[in-house]
Structure formats: structure tokens, C-alpha cells
Amino acid sequence: MSPQRHRLAAGGRIDRSRPLNFTFNGRRFEGYAGDTLASALIANGVTPVARSFKYHRPRGIVGAGAEEPNAIVQLETGARTQPNQRATRVELYDGLTAASVNCWPSVNFDLGAVNNLLKRLLPAGFYYKTFMWPPGFWMRYEYFIRRAAGLGKAPAAPDPDRYDKMHCHADVLVVGGGPSGLAAALAAGRTGARVILADGQNEFGGALLDGGAEIDGGPALDWVAAAVAELEAMAEVRLLPRATVAGYYDHNYLTIVERVTDHLGAAAPANLPRQRLWKVRAGQVVLATGSVERPLVFADNDRPGIMLASAAATYVNRYAAKPGSRAVVFTNNDSAYRVALDLAEAGIEVAAVVDPRPEPEGPLPARTRARGIEVLGGQAVVAAHGGGRVAAVEVMGLDQAGGGVIGESRRVRCDLVCVSGGWNPTVHLFSQSGGRLRYDDALAGFVPDRSAQAERSVGAAAGTFALADCLARGFEAGLEAAAEAGFRRKGRSRRAPKAPAQEEAPLRPFWVVPSTVARGRGTKHFIDLQNDVTVADVALAVREGYRSAEHLKRYTTMGMGTDQGKIGNVTGLAVLSELVDADIPSVGTTTFRPPYTPVGFGLLAGREVGALADPVRKTAIHRWHEDRGAAFEDVGQWKRPWYFPRAGESMHDAVNRECLAVRNSVGVMDASTLGKIDIQGPDALRLLNWVYTNAWDNLKIGRCRYGLMLGEDGMVMDDGVTTRLAEHHYLMTTTTGGAAGVLAWLEMWLQTEWLDLKVHLTSVTEHWATVAVAGPRARELLSALTSDIDLSAKAFPFMSMRAGTVAGVPARVFRISFTGELSFEINVPASYGMAVWNAVMMAGEKYGVTPFGTEAMHILRAEKGYIIVGDETDGTTTPGDVGMDWIVSKKKPDFIGKRSLSRPDTAREGRKQLVGLLTQDPKEVLPEGGQIVAEPEKKPPMKMIGHVTSSYWSASLGRSIALALVYGGHKRHGETVHVPLIGKTVSAVVSEPRFYDPEGVRLRG
Amino acid sequence: MKKYSIFSLVRNAVSYHERWSEAWRSPEPKGAYEVVIVGGGGHGLATAYYLAKEHGITNVAVVEKGWLGLGNTGRNTTIIRSNYLWDESAHLYEKSLQLYEGLSQELNFNIMLSQRGCLNLAHNQHDLRQLSRRVNAIRLNGIDSEILTAGQIKALVPILNCSPTARYPVLGGSLQRRGGTARHDAVAWAFARAADARGVDIIQNCEVTGIRRDGGRVTGVETTKGLIKAGKVGVVVAGHASVLAEMVGLRLPIESHPLQALVSEPIKPVLDTVVMSAAVHVYLSQSDKGELVLGAGIDSYNSYAQRGSLPIIEHMLAACVDLFPIVSRLRMLRQWAGIVDVCPDASPIVGKTPVEGFYVNFGWGTGGFKATPGSGWVFAYTIAQDRPHPLNEPFSLERFHTGYLVDEHGAAGVAH
Ligand SMILES: Cc1cc2nc3c(=O)[nH]c(=O)nc-3n(C[C@H](O)[C@H](O)[C@H](O)COP(=O)(O)OP(=O)(O)OC[C@H]3O[C@@H](n4cnc5c(N)ncnc54)[C@H](O)[C@@H]3O)c2cc1C
């Protein structure tokens, strides 16, 4: 392992007593606790760390935070691998393994760099202009393009980690734990308000972590420590470090991504989730999100070793890592002078500070000069030289307007260039919240203007940079926010923390350095480093008419990388405005959309995956079915027994056996999944009359009636039997899959249109277990289990209900039938379901009682021509279409769907109507979903006259049967139609859709 | 129009790409046009192009309130397919797909039509029955479609969770091999450039604020750049159909909803086909840049604000992680929403109105990108001939009175 050659001997917030080993691109290195991967790489002098997306140019680390465009790595390997991690945001841990992405065979020698040689052929949007020949070849080109694109790799295995979600409320949510945010949290917290303070970094302090500053007369970091301690002691304050606020939605709803065990390596406690998604509904929000430095653009400004001045300061001060040994500082504002001084203090030679401002004056330039550093006023870095790393820069004088270079060029040797083009307030969350931005000329950047939600931006995020002002404004905002949330300051008033005033000269707005060669000729001026978008690309886009900020972004891909253009976007707009000769505010800004930084899919999914993706519903009798080896089918969320195969039986055998048992003796089915809605209230009857097509007025207590429910469009929506239990008490059943939808439908009407109806609905689906006993011997079987219900046909007629006891359990028994056989549906409280089922099985032993599943049920009902909503109907089917005109009341003044039924097309003759189909070869079972034609000899596109809705082998009839919807079907009985399939066409005769016991003798018996 | 090709690219490389000309002009509006198209999305631009090309009507303006192509055209998930259940839809979308298949050459702009296939999954017996019905209908309509078994699906999409114990097991699926994606921006730009070359004026940053009429006949549009007279006006404003219709006193059976989408960070290829699951409500593809592109159903509330709600995103990703377990550690890079105008039958309205010379083309809901060239083609015909083409005749406004609906709701599930 190599020593940390670029580690400063002292200083920094790293823990030198805790060395950590890590591997990068296969080489082993050492860093310290407190490092990020980026700072550890710098401390080890590793460069380049990455290749760019398009030209595969070597790249180094540019930033120190979320803005990093270059240092994108693949973290770890195997199932826990993560693509596209920013090295600047990965906290170092022991055993960390990372690699550069999108380069081959290695970051130092990358074959993709051939693109850099071809770069003149690859301007912005080149792919729109080529790859069109020969026609149809695009997908072959695309094959290679796809393989060349993409950064890291997805894991190859499922995610072994867990993710949690937290919902909470806050009176005041403070985003960002720098000086402004801490001051705001302190002020708000002291009022007793419930405060959450979230910060993406592993410790609070924000920009203060870089050291140097003073607050309340002492080192700023002492103040930070005291502030954090005070906040920690407050009962109503929650501190969330390592927690990035990612999204700002309507109604002050924000999401926070907390990295719980990320970057802890082997030390991560196994009981904790990897990450937590906090979903916060905040009374008030204080955005103290700071700012991001932006670069100045010059020729070949992408060389490794060229970085943001603030980042260089962070590496030196916070991490004691030396990003270079001889630096040039290039800045249009005072802040980077402080960096020059810090570098010098750390023993890094500062060759010069280059400043486009003609005469840099004021305390900072003066201190810099006093330190012996040359200050080159009115000059600019025009180009960088070097291969794998910057080796020198060229410096030239600027003309008055900054539009041209003058004088001789001077070459300055260096291996580090620290650039500062000013600061962009981090307005992403503000913009997401719907707030309007304003361009501030003095700052040359966008700042929050008008809030759209209960929110205030403070500190650098609002364009306030002086520490003293940040503290004062943060404190004040904390008090205001708390007050608006209903919390006033209590007790003795405390004053805001104070910091010494600083004097800084204004910046000179400056974006792209002019050069002696026309831009885009030979050298490249990069605006978006990750996507390799240059000034020439922007110029090309503008030349071609892509002049709006949005068009520009889409045409050049500027700002579309994983860094979302955090350092380049404003520069890009400035270049655009210059080219179209308009001011920056009028070319506008692109909208910031959530998230601020990328959020894991797994985190957003949370626990709702795998078995918890959707509740699995099982009936009270499920265990029995499982024990008997039932095959199940999914119906909505329910698991229903599909059929009960015996040893050696195929599905076909089992289903035939089940069907015959019901027809010839007795079968039993678990019908618990049917939706059940308990309806009570004096207006229950009115509700039924509204939602069903038939009339309900004369239904006697204890009687059942079948009903069809239509949508407003007159199409069948659901069906089921409703029973009158008492004067104002009904039990409605629905289809298994439709239960929730029907309840929601009824509630929608009750809550939006029929507020006057006195009626209450309760879903009781899961309260009852339903055992359906069906077949000619059903009565005999049941009579052994009940003594208090007279089962005789006279006393207990078809379509009625009796309450009593079955197998000693209080039960409601319904005499209804979906199989066409004599049938009783025993409803008992769900907890007794299994007991009653077992009692039925025992009592039925002597009749050979046979459990049957949904497949047999489907066949039995099809033999009778009963429809299944969703099979024989598809949302375009009226009651008349399925031959159920009889159920549509002609007398009722109105019901849902009535008006639509009279529309010309709905009332028309010849619609798709329900018929039976009997194949010419009785052994041939038509496939469900087969399309029906009259002229099978034609070639596609063919005229289709209908489709097969249900189709089975009927063991009872010894032949196949099918139901179908056919245009004008009611008048086609006897006609032969055809179903073209792949490789053959099946012919069938249209029939009445009732194949078995059409008079219904058996079910009334 | 200067031709794009590898040769022009090389030639321009020599002059450092400093000689390319603008893809379209930005003219000031003339006082009057034969036809004014309101809405500079893909459909509006395509309409103008086909008016010029197919019907020789070049005195046309496309009036766009913002910049062209940044409405739903620039926000959609770019899925293209023609595997629709009903004959009416199948024929219209198939016409569109066929136009797409020659579009890069016809417009001399690479729209990156990538027919890597579009797969619809079935997760239960009911889904399988529906799938079979659809595939049979689509095939008999002369459109490619096939049923795949779970095994074939696993081979086609290795990252799909095909475990039989999955919460939503994959029991089968249907595949349209000619389905796929195209680059949405390129479609808008290509039509804009080609229409402009044929003399169409594309007027950006010009909002239509009123419709001028004389008796029962349209005479022009009032805009933020003044009155523009017009013999005929075609309105193609996804997301704002009701607002424009209101200007002539038409009430529409349309509801406007946010529809959301998101992309992951770019990764190396893991998915070639478009995969859609109506049952779990998610669909997924991978762009040429490497981003996974995801969509789901609409937000249920009505809105004109192009913002969606978080729960939709959470559900979409839960479904996605469940179907594709390896994506769990990928990250959402961007999320956004567009406003979609949805008709009760989830089919568009393309045709004439009671106002003479006033034609409408909207209500494409969640799935109109795939229809862009076809929609423009039939709409140009409708405007030029003052009567619908047989392909769009069923999609009239009157169908909501007659009940002749083309209901793609139940049958289509997630309809993108
Ligand atoms: C998130 C999302 C995903 C989608 N995914 C798919 C998909 O995968 N496949 C698919 O086929 N479809 C998809 N769609 C649907 C598809 O995007 C649209 O149906 C289609 O793009 C509509 O095209 P358009 O040209 O009519 O509309 P738009 O592109 O929205 O154009 C309408 C234009 O009208 C302009 N306008 C409005 N009012 C005025 C006025 N008063 N004056 C002047 N101009 C005006 C608007 O500014 C806009 O530019 C999706 C939609 C969304 C939102």
C-alpha cells in the first residue's frame, strides 16, 4: 500500500488514529476516518479518476459535494454494487471498493478516447443528422451507441438491503445545517416548536466545516458544537445528519433521504435499514441550502487538476489533503483569495491569482499580495495544458469589455488550478416548491423571489453570503417561521449569533474567457463536464435555432447528466444570452424538478415489494385447500382454489371430476371471497333502486334478488345478489374482483351526489366465511348439520335466506345458485369457517362430497349461460347485449346508466350480443379470446364479427361449449361462424347461450 | 432545407460546424393564413407538414404559446406501438406506426425509431384471456402481435422476475416486435424543420386567447401577437383542449389529469424491450443514453399544474422493483409530469365541430405520442377536405351523443 503522499502533516477534521483501507480501480490505498472517497483519492494523489461521457477525456475531481460532475464511481461489487456514486459524497469506510465507470480497459488507457480524436465529427446533436442510411439501419448503429452509453452497471442480483419510510409532521423544517440553518433551528427550537433540521453531510456546520471563521468571538466550529449540543437537548427538535432533502411537493410536503447504514461498511448494524425516506408535512420551511461555486470557462478547462476554488479549500482545510503542489487561482471575485491564502498556509505554492477585474483592491487582495502571492489583475487564464493532469496555464490580458484578449500570453507552470466564477445560490428546492426566481445582477445569479408555499430562503441560498448576515437572517427566519407556526419566543430574549463583518469587493460577471483562436476550433471550452457540452456546442445549437433554454438543454444534453448541471447550468444560460443577444433573465432558467440529488428506487419502493407488494388475501379455509394440494389462481388480491387435483390427475381430469360430482351428487366450494357489503338505514332501498337496473321495492325480508349495476355509460359494471335481512338492512354481494371498486362507487355517489340519503355501508367481506354446497344431494347433506332451519323446498324456496345454526354455529344460509344445481351458501362468522367447512366435509362423506374450485365453477355456470362480469362483459356491454333486458326496469324513473341506454348507438340493433357456440367438432375446445369471422377465406385485415368470451370442455355434456359476443348474435342462432387461429380455423354453430337445464328445474328442486 | 447526412456532417466539420443553418425560421405572423394550427406540439407540427405535403396547402401558420414541442411531446415516455384492441384504434395507430417507419428518411432527421419490441405482461388467468383476445384481434387486423410464454419472456427480458412465487407471477405476455420507442424531441424538431421548409410559419411564444367567428364560421384567432385571420383553424392542444373549446362555447367530455414519468441515472444496457404491466401499473424501457424510463397511471385528480403527487411515484417504483429486482439500487434522476386530456372512452377526438372551419384534434390522453404522424396525417386530410378521413371518422365529437364509443379503457389498462 502506498503512503498518503498528498496528506498534509496536520489539521483537518479527519481522525488520524483511525486509518482505513480501500481499493480504487484495483489498487489498495489508505485514508482516514472522516475522509470522503474523493478526499482520500486526493490524499493519495490519484488522477485521473474518471473519463468523460462522450469524448472519454481523462477527468479529475472538480467539486467537494453534490455538484461533482466527474468523479462518478461504481461502489462495491456483487449484489450491493451501486453505479454512479459521486466520490465526493461517499464517506470512506474500511474495506471500501470502488472503480471508475464507462472506461475500458482502464481509466488511464481508455479505448473510448478514440471519440476524442473524432470529436470534430461529433458536435451536439450529430446523431440527429446521420445514421439514416441505409434506411432501416438505425437499429444496428444503435446497438453500438447503446453499449457505448450509460455510466455504471446495475447489480446483477436482487437488493439484499431494506428500506423504511417515516411519516412525520414538523412545525418548522430547516433544510441545511450551515450557519444560517443552525441559527434558524436554534431560534425556532427555543420557542418550543417541533423542529427538524436535516443536512446531507455527516456533520452539521456546512461551509463552516472548512474552518477559519469566527462566531461570537471564538472559532466558528466551537459555536457549531455548542449549537448542536443545545439542539440535541431540546425535546421537540430532531436532528437528521446524513439526510438530504430531495423533493419539495405541494402543501409543504417534503421528502428526506436519510443514509442510515450507507458507507458504514462492515460496521453497519444488521438491524437497521440501509436508508430511510422521511416524508415530512411541514408547517413552515426554512431553506438554508447554501450555494455552489461555479467555474470560469477557458480552453481545455476539463484537465484533471482544475477544480472549484471552494473545493480546493475544503480538501485542504477539512480533509488535510493536498489537491496539488503548485496552484494558480483564477477568480472574478474575492472569495477565492481566501482560498489562495489557505493554500499558502497549508504549504502549497500559489503561483498567481489571476483576476479579470482590472484592479483587485480591498483587504483580501491586499492580504494575498502581502503574503507574497502575485496578483494578476485584468487578466485571465485562457487555456490549460497537460495530458493526464494540468501542467501549465496560459494567462493573457483582457480588454476593457472582457470580450477579447490582449498582450503576450504568459505560461504559468502549475498542477492545480482553482477557479471561481462566483456563486449560484442553491435554489433547487425553492424552485421545486413553485417559487419564482429573480436574476440578481450583482451576484450574476438566480435568487429566490416570490414564495409559493409557507417557506423562506436564508443565507447563501438567498444570495446572502457574509457570515454575519447569514447568522442574523437565519436566526430571524427561525423566529418568524416558529411564530407563524404558532410558537412565540418565550422568556428572556436571546440575540442572534454574531460574526465579524467582512469587506468584499463586487465580482465581475464573467463566464467564458475569450481566446486567440475562435471557440470550437481545436480546443474545447467545457460548460457541462459530465456530458461534454462545450461553448461551441451551445453556439451550434443557437445557430440552428434551438434558442430557448429548454431546447438548448435537450439538443446539447447540457445539464442532463447525473449532476443535473449544478455547476454548469447558469454558465450555459449566460453563454446562450450572449449568443442571442438578450439578457440572462429573459432567456430564462430551466425548471428544477425533484429530486435534488438522485434517490434510490428501492428507497421509494420501501417495503412494498415481494410478498408485501400487495396484500395477499386468503380465506378462513385456505389452510385446508393448501393441505389438499389445491392449485390456486389469483383473483384480485385473493388466492382462490382453482381445482383440487388428486394424485396423478391432470387439471383436465380434476376439473371434469369436480363438475360431474356437482351435477350428479354434491360439491362444496369456498365462496368466501365474494364481496359483501352490509347496507343499513332507512334509505337503503332508495340506494338499491338507484344503483341497480331492476326494481327493489317489493323485495320481502328474507328474500334475495339478483342485480346488475351499470356505469354512467350504461355498460355493465358489476353484478351480485342482494338480500333483505330486515326492514332497513340489506346484504349486497359483489364479484370477488369488484368488491372494493363497488364500495368506492357507492360511497362516491353517497358522498358527492346523494348526501341526503340516510344509509351506511360497511364492507363485511372478511367477516364471513361462505361455504357453498351445490348438487342434487345438497339438501340431504345440509339436513345433517342443521335442526333449526326447515330446508324443504316449500319452506325455504330458491332466492331466499334463512338464519339458524349450522354445525352448531350461528349461520345465514342463502338458497342461491351459480352452478344451476340445488345449492345452499352457508355464511358463518369467518373464525368458524374452517370448522363448518370440516363439518360439511364429514357430513358429506357418504355422498362423496367433492371440493371444487373456480375452474369447475366457471364451467358449471357457463353450461347454464350465466355471465361473468369481465369475461362476458368488457365495459362496452349493455344488459341487452348479454340477453338480460329482463332485468332493466322500464318503470323506474331513473337509475345509473338509464339515460345512456337510450343513446342511438347503445339502443341500436345488431350490437355485439351474447350467444353460445358449438364447435362442429365437439372435441375441439375453442381458445378463449378467439376472434370470430364470417368469411374465413379472406386475408388480414379481416372483418371480425365477435370474440369467444368463455370456452370449456363440458364433462356433463360430453362436448365443448363456448360463450361469445357476436354482432347481431341474437338473430344469428343456427349460423356457422369461424375462428381463425395460427395454423387452423375452427368452425362453430351459433346457439342459445344455455346448454344445460335451460328451464332451471334443477336449481329450484 | 439543407440535407443532413454523414457527408454534410463531414463537410461541416471542416468549417468547424459554423455553417449550419437554422432548422426552422422564427417569422413574425402574417395578417392572415389559409389555415392556422393552434398548438406547436408534435401533432400540430405534423398536421402542418402533411397539409403542405399531401394537400399542397402551404399558407399555414402553427401558433404555439411557448416553444415548440415542450408540451406533452417533450414529456412523454416515447412508447410507440399499434397493438390496440378495437378495429378503429388499430387502424389509426397502425397508420401512424407505418408513417413512423419511414419518418427519419422522409423528414431527413434521425428520429431514432427503435423497434426493439413492446411486451405486455399477463399475471393471472384473466389477464391471459384478455391477452389472447387482443392478440387474435390485432393479428386479424393485419398487425404483428404474438403471445409469449413465461419461458420465452424470461429469455427476452432476463432481468424480469419470472419466479412463479412472485407476488405477480409472469404467466405470459404479448409482444409487438414492431413496437418500441423514438426520440420525442427529434419528432417535433423533424416535423418543424420539414414543415418550415415547405413554407409553414411556425410562430412561437404566441398564445391564442380567443377565436374569432362570423356567424357560424371561424374567421381567425386572437393571439398575444395580435389578430391572425384564418380561413380554417385546427386546434391541437393536448392538456388544454377544454380551454380552447370553451372559446367557441363547446363543452367537452374531457378531464385533464397530471401524468407522471421518471428516469434513472444512465447505466449500461440491461433492457432492450419496452415492458408494460397493466396489473401492477408500471411500464419501463431503457433509453439510448442508458436511463431507465418509467411511467404509470394518471394522478386521479384534475389539474392544469404540471406537477404530480409522490404516492404515484412510490407505487410505480414498488411495482418496478418487484418486477425487476435488480433495479432497486438504481436511482431516480428526474421526475416530471404533463397534463393529459382524457376522454371517457380513452380515445381521441379528431374531426369537425359545429363551428364551420373549426376542427379539433385532442383527447389523446396518455398515449398520443405514438399517434403523432398518423394524427397529423388524418387531421390534415380532415381540414383540407372538410370531412374526416375514414380512419378518423369513428373519432368524432358526436360519438358522445350517439354512444358509439371506442372504449380502450378496460381493454388497454395502462394506455401509453
Ligand atoms: C408523462 C407522460 C408520458 C407519456 N407517455 C406516452 C408514451 O409512452 N407513448 C405515447 O404514445 N404517448 C405518451 N404520452 C402522451 C403523449 O405525450 C401525448 O398524447 C402527445 O404528445 C400529445 O401531442 P400533442 O402534440 O397533441 O400535444 P403537446 O405536445 O402537448 O402540444 C400541445 C401544444 O399546444 C400548446 N398550446 C396550448 N394552449 C395553447 C394556446 N392557447 N395557444 C397556443 N398554443 C397552445 C402547448 O403549449 C403545447 O405545446 C405521455 C404523456 C405524458 C404526460
A108 inside 8 A of chain B by CB: no
pLDDT digits (tens, 9 = 90+) for A663-680: 999 999 999 999 999 999
Task: Give the total residue count for chain B.
Answer: 416
Q: How far is CA A843 from CA A630, A837, B102, in A?
A: 21, 10, 71
Other beta carbons within 10 Å of A891: 6
Mutation target among B167, B187, B255, B280 for the A interface, most CBs of A within 10 A: B167
Domain ranges of chain A: 15-126, 164-288+425-484, 670-852, 907-1004
Three-state SS string across A372-422, please?
CCCEEECEEEEEEEECCCEEEEEEEEECCCCCCEEEEEEEEECCEEEEECC
pLDDT of residue B414: 40
The DSSP bridge pattern shows strands A15-24 and A96-100 to be parallel
Contact B205/B223 with Cβ under 8 angstroms? no
Q: Is the predicted pLDDT of residue A473 greater than 60, yes or no?
A: yes
In chain A, the residue whose alpha carbon lies closest to the alpha carbon of B310 is A249
CB-closest option in A548, A554, A906 to B185: A554
- Determine the Cα–Cα distance for residues A579 and A547; give it in Å rounded to an integer: 9
- The cell for B88 is 378503429
- The answer to whether the CB atoms of A613 and B322 lie below 8 A apart is yes
| Ligand 1 atom nearest to CA at B244 | 41
Strand partners, B235: B38, B360
Q: How many CB pairs under 8 A join A and B?
A: 319
Contact A292/A67 with Cβ under 8 angstroms? yes
CB-closest option in B22, B67, B104 to A544: B22
- The answer to whether the CB atoms of B20 and A128 lie below 8 A apart is no
Q: Is the predicted pLDDT of residue A723 greater than 60, yes or no?
A: yes
Residue nearest to atom 2 of ligand 1 (CA): B76
The residues, any chain, with a CB within 8 Å of residue B305's CB and separated by 6 or more, are: B258, B339
A928 inside 8 A of chain B by CB: yes
Please work out whether the CB of residue B121 comes within 6 Å of at least one atom of ligand 1. no
Q: How far B399 CA sits from the closest chain A CA (Å)? A: 9
- Determine the Cα–Cα distance for residues A321 and A74; give it in Å rounded to an integer: 23
Could you list the beta-strand ranges (E) of A727-863: 729-734, 760-763, 768-774, 800-806, 809-815, 823-829, 850-851
The residues, any chain, with a CB within 8 Å of residue A625's CB and separated by 6 or more, are: A632, A641, A644, A670, A851
Three-state SS string across A691-731, please?
HECCCCCCCCCCEEEEEEEECCCCCEEEEEEEEEEECCEEE
Q: Computed over its alpha carbons, how large is the radius of gyration of chain A? A: 38
A135 inside 8 A of chain B by CB: yes
Q: How far is CA B290 from CA A586, B179, B271, B282, in A?
A: 33, 19, 9, 19
CA-based end-to-end distance of chain B: 33
Distance of CA A307 to the CA centre of its chain: 34
Task: Report the topology of domain A907-1004.
Answer: Elongation Factor Tu (Ef-tu); domain 3 (2.40.30)
pLDDT of residue A118: 86
Other beta carbons within 10 Å of A871: 16
Contact A428/A413 with Cβ under 8 angstroms? no
Please work out whether the CB of residue B42 comes within 6 Å of at least one atom of ligand 1. yes
DSSP A574: H
Question: In terms of CATH, what superfamily is A670-852?
Answer: Probable tRNA modification gtpase trme; domain 1 (3.30.1360.120)
Contact B37/B362 with Cβ under 8 angstroms? no
Contact B46/B376 with Cβ under 8 angstroms? yes
Q: How far B33 CA sits from the closest chain A CA (Å)? A: 23
As to burial, measured by CB atoms within 10 angstroms (0-12 exposed, 13-18 middle, 19+ buried), residue A706 is middle
Question: In terms of CATH, what superfamily is B27-114+181-254+343-416?
Answer: FAD/NAD(P)-binding domain (3.50.50.60)
- Please report which residue ranges of A513-598 form alpha helices under DSSP H: 535-543, 549-556, 569-580, 584-587
A593 inside 8 A of chain B by CB: yes
> What's the CATH architecture for A15-126?
Roll (3.10)
Contact A439/A414 with Cβ under 8 angstroms? no
A83 inside 8 A of chain B by CB: yes
- Determine the Cα–Cα distance for residues A57 and A916; give it in Å rounded to an integer: 70
Residue nearest to atom 48 of ligand 1 (CA): B71
- The answer to whether the CB atoms of B10 and A121 lie below 8 A apart is yes
pLDDT of residue B411: 46
- The cell for B23 is 432548422
Contact B177/B144 with Cβ under 8 angstroms? yes
pLDDT of residue A212: 84
- The cell for B37 is 394550427
- Determine the Cα–Cα distance for residues B14 and A938; give it in Å rounded to an integer: 58
DSSP character string of A16-29: EEEEEEEEETTEEE
Residue nearest to atom 41 of ligand 1 (CA): B208
Q: How confident is the prediction along chain B (416 residues), in pLDDT tens digits per residue?
A: 889 999 999 999 988 999 999 999 999 999 999 999 999 999 999 999 999 999 999 999 999 999 999 999 999 999 999 999 999 999 999 999 999 999 999 999 999 999 999 999 999 999 999 999 999 999 999 999 999 999 999 999 999 999 999 999 999 999 999 999 999 999 999 999 999 999 999 999 999 999 999 999 999 999 999 999 999 999 999 999 999 999 999 999 999 999 999 999 999 999 999 999 988 889 999 999 999 999 988 999 999 998 999 999 999 999 999 999 999 999 999 999 999 999 999 999 999 999 999 999 999 999 999 999 999 999 999 999 999 999 999 999 999 999 999 988 754 444 45
Q: Answer positive or negative: Cα dihedral of A417, A420, A424, A425.
A: positive
Largest CA distance in chain B: 67
- The answer to whether the CB atoms of B110 and A933 lie below 8 A apart is no
Q: Which of A699, A695, A731 is nearest to A803 (CA)?
A: A731
DSSP A572: H
- Determine the Cα–Cα distance for residues A29 and A19; give it in Å rounded to an integer: 10
| Ligand 1 atom nearest to CA at B364 | 19
Other beta carbons within 10 Å of A144: 9
pLDDT digits (tens, 9 = 90+) for A224-245: 999 999 999 999 999 999 999 9
> Which residues 341-360 on chain A approach chain B with CB closer than 8 angstroms?
none
Q: Which of A202, A233, A236, A208 is nearest to A220 (CA)?
A: A208
Q: Is the predicted pLDDT of residue A710 greater than 90, yes or no?
A: yes
- Determine the Cα–Cα distance for residues A710 and A628; give it in Å rounded to an integer: 39
Q: What is the rounded average pLDDT of the residues A312-333?
A: 98
Mutation target among B67, B205, B306, B333 for the A interface, most CBs of A within 10 A: B333
pLDDT of residue A136: 84
Q: How far B212 CA sits from the closest chain A CA (Å)? A: 30
Q: How far B159 CA sits from the closest chain A CA (Å)? A: 8
- Determine the Cα–Cα distance for residues A302 and A56; give it in Å rounded to an integer: 11
* Percent of residues, chain A, with pLDDT higher than 70: 99
Question: In terms of CATH, what superfamily is B115-180+256-341?
Answer: D-Amino Acid Oxidase, subunit A, domain 2 (3.30.9.10)
Neighboring chain B residues of A536 at a CB cutoff of 8 Å:
16-17
Name the pTM for this structure: 0.96
Contact B34/B231 with Cβ under 8 angstroms? yes
Domain ranges of chain B: 27-114+181-254+343-416, 115-180+256-341
B177-194: b (≥16 Cβ within 10 Å) or e: ebbbbbbbbbbbbbbbbb
pLDDT of residue B410: 59
pLDDT digits (tens, 9 = 90+) for A500-520: 988 889 999 999 999 877 777
- The answer to whether the CB atoms of A544 and B20 lie below 8 A apart is yes
Lowest mean pLDDT among A2-6, A307-311, B18-22: A2-6
> What's the CATH architecture for A164-288+425-484?
3-Layer(bba) Sandwich (3.50)
pLDDT of residue B412: 42
- The cell for A651 is 387439471
- The answer to whether the CB atoms of A132 and B105 lie below 8 A apart is yes
pLDDT digits (tens, 9 = 90+) for A604-628: 999 999 889 999 999 999 999 999 9
CB-closest option in A130, A154, A521 to B6: A130
The residues, any chain, with a CB within 8 Å of residue A87's CB and separated by 6 or more, are: A36, A37, A38, A41, A49, A61, A68, A71, A72, A73, A98
Question: Which contiguous run of DSSP H or E holds residue A471?
Answer: helix A467-484
